[in-house]
Amino acid sequence: MAMTMTQKILAAHAGLKEVTAGQLIEAKLDIVMANDITGPMAKPIFEEMGSKVFDKDKVVIVPDHFTPAKDIKSAENAKAMKEFACEQCLTHYYEIGRVGIEHALLPEKGIVVAGECIIGADSHTCTYGALGAFSTGVGSTDIAAGMAIGELWFKVPSAIKFNLVGKLSSHVSGKDVILHIIGMIGVDGALYKSMEFVGEGVSSLTMDDRFTICNMAIEAGGKNGIFIVDDLARAYMQEHSVKTYTEYTPDEDAVYDEEYTIDLSAIRPTIAFPHLPGNAKTIDEVRAMEPIKIDQVVIGSCTNGRMNDMREAAAILKGHKVADHVRVMVIPATQKIYLQCITEGLAEIFIESGCTFNTPSCGPCMGGHMGVLAAGEKCVSTTNRNFVGRMGHVDSKVYLASPAVAAASAIKGVIACVEDI
């Protein structure tokens, strides 16, 4: 029977020749990941199941959400995860000063590669599909089970095929692509489905673009997002990992629930208005409105805190000043990216333009710290969610955008793009 990429990975990890959409399977896990919010909830459940993790090399703890600890409770959670990692002799535990945002850190460290079956107690675990892996977010109970036995039940998802053609225009990125797609199909348009990205246009996308696109598959309701493996993905894995990997390609006659052709050259800078990632509008539509004055800009997160994102934002901010009424938080996703920003002179550009340059952390994305919004404030953010109260007060508003739009908006003081500077 013909299968999609995701179905082939799940079949292999279930020890089956084939699987079909809707089938319940038990699959072996390659990586099980938790953070400083979800890990403490999983720990007592894990302790009811056993005393040792199934594999100390495959259980990963990344304290990235409320770190550096923003209050006593955050400190207690981080401490609990540090003690758990030490007790279990985990290979992959990253303390402050060595940590990064989990979904940027794991690929950078070579922990995740193509063909793997990965779960994480964070909904944006789908990021690793950019490498050709099946990767999905689960709850703390499932993470506890995964830590204990290294296996988990799945319902095999059906799939949507996205055939990418053409090439992105200047200052248009993967963030614009995924916001365009979510705006097109809706926040439940891929509900419990695999979003599979193929076509000649894939080769024109950077790895950072692909990570961003897969990261937000969950915002369309997707079970996972996954790219076909090409030379760029192979080069990335060879540079970052020593693990062997397996490539899976979809069968030519694989069955998809829907198929879409996305012309990358036609995509414009896109902004998701409050309070849904699917409330997408192009910059041209925004220009037709009254100017939207903003109070804050966030450039970073597991969605857009990678090196290309930093370079794009810095190139736009160079020689400009942030608008007087706007505060800007730049948050590189990992320590390696942070250091590279310093080495390349990007940190100097950010600071001289009037931005803060902060330590790697999820920070303001979920209203944690380092940029929480007050009532009535508006923020342009490169993060992935803009629900009511997501970044602070329930009366604040978050507009999701690319690093290019975020940087341009910081300069203009209203939602804008590079063409407006």
Given 243, 264, 285, the domain boundary residue is 264
Is there a contact between 267 and 164 (Cβ–Cβ < 8 Å)?
Answer: no
- Evaluate whether 18 touches 25 at the Cβ level (below 8 Å): no
Range of the domain at 207: 5-264
Tokens representing residue 29 in the block: 């896990």
CATH of residue 381? 3.30.499.10
Q: Show pLDDT as tens, one digit a residue, over the chain (421 residues).
A: 899 999 999 999 999 999 999 999 999 999 999 998 999 999 999 999 888 999 999 999 999 898 898 899 999 999 999 999 999 999 999 988 999 999 999 999 999 999 999 999 999 999 999 999 999 999 999 999 999 999 999 999 999 999 999 999 999 999 999 999 999 999 999 999 999 999 999 999 999 999 999 999 999 999 999 999 999 999 999 999 999 999 999 999 999 999 999 999 999 999 999 999 999 999 999 999 999 999 999 999 999 999 999 999 999 999 999 999 999 999 999 999 999 999 999 999 999 999 999 999 988 888 888 899 999 999 999 999 999 889 899 999 999 999 999 999 999 999 999 999 8
Q: Assign residue 16 a region: left if phi > 0, alpha if psi is -120 to 50, beta otherwise?
A: beta
> Do 27 and 136 fall within a single domain?
yes
Chain centre distance of CA 382: 11
Question: pLDDT, tens digit, for every residue of 151-192?
Answer: 999 999 999 999 999 999 999 999 999 999 999 999 999 999
The answer on 287 and 247 residing in a single domain is no
Same domain (yes/no): 256, 332: no
230 by Cβ neighbours in 10 Å (0-12 / 13-18 / 19+) ranks as: middle
Residues 171 and 311 both lie in one domain: no
Asked if residue 59 lies in contact with residue 32, where contact means CB atoms within 8 angstroms, the answer is yes
Q: Which of 264, 280, 312 is the last residue of a domain?
A: 264
Given the DSSP bridges, would you call strands 280-282 and 270-272 parallel, antiparallel or unpaired?
antiparallel
164 and 298 part of one domain: no
Q: What is the DSSP letter of 289?
A: S
Pairing of strands 151-155, 24-28: antiparallel
The separation between CA 209 and the C-alpha centre of its own chain, rounded to angstroms, equals: 10
55 burial level (CB within 10 Å; 0-12, 13-18, 19+) = middle
pTM reported for the whole predicted model: 0.95
In the chain, how many domains are there?
A: 2
Mark which of 224, 249, 264 sits at the end of a domain: 264
CB 208 within 8 A of CB 235: no
Residue 240 is encoded by which pair of tokens? 């970052």
Which residues are CB-neighbours of 236 under 8 A, at least 6 positions away? 107, 131, 207
Q: Are residues 303 and 322 in the same domain?
A: yes
